[in-house]
Amino acid sequence: MEIAAMKALAAGLCMGLGALGPALGEGYIGGQALKAIGRNPEVADKVSGLVFVLMAVCESTGIYSLVVALILLFA
């Protein structure tokens, strides 16, 4: 295989696997938050603020994966 093809394959795998974790994590966070709000609606304001912070932390993993994929492609 050529170097360019190997770089593209590595970047694609990096993004594919790197996006899987945040997607599963954000889905789990959202589901558990909805379950908590459904059981105790009075805490909806506290939980929703915390959910946004947790999802941002989870999404940062996907952004790191994007950075690594771009480094693989252009370095």
pLDDT digits (tens, 9 = 90+) for 2-32: 999 999 999 999 999 999 999 999 999 999 9
- The phi and psi torsions of 40 (rounded to 5 degrees) equal -140, 85
What token pair was written down for 1? 């295989």
Instruction: Compute the average pLDDT of residues 39-59.
Output: 93
- Concatenate the DSSP letters of all residues of 6-70 into one string: HHHHHHHHHHHHHHHHHHHHHHHHHHHHHHHHHH-GGGHHHHHHHHHHHHHHHHHHHHHHHHHHH
Domain span holding position 12: 3-74
Q: How far apart are the first and last CA of the chain?
A: 18
pLDDT at 20: 93
Q: CATH number of the domain at 8, please.
A: 1.20.20.10
Number of independent structural domains in the chain: 1
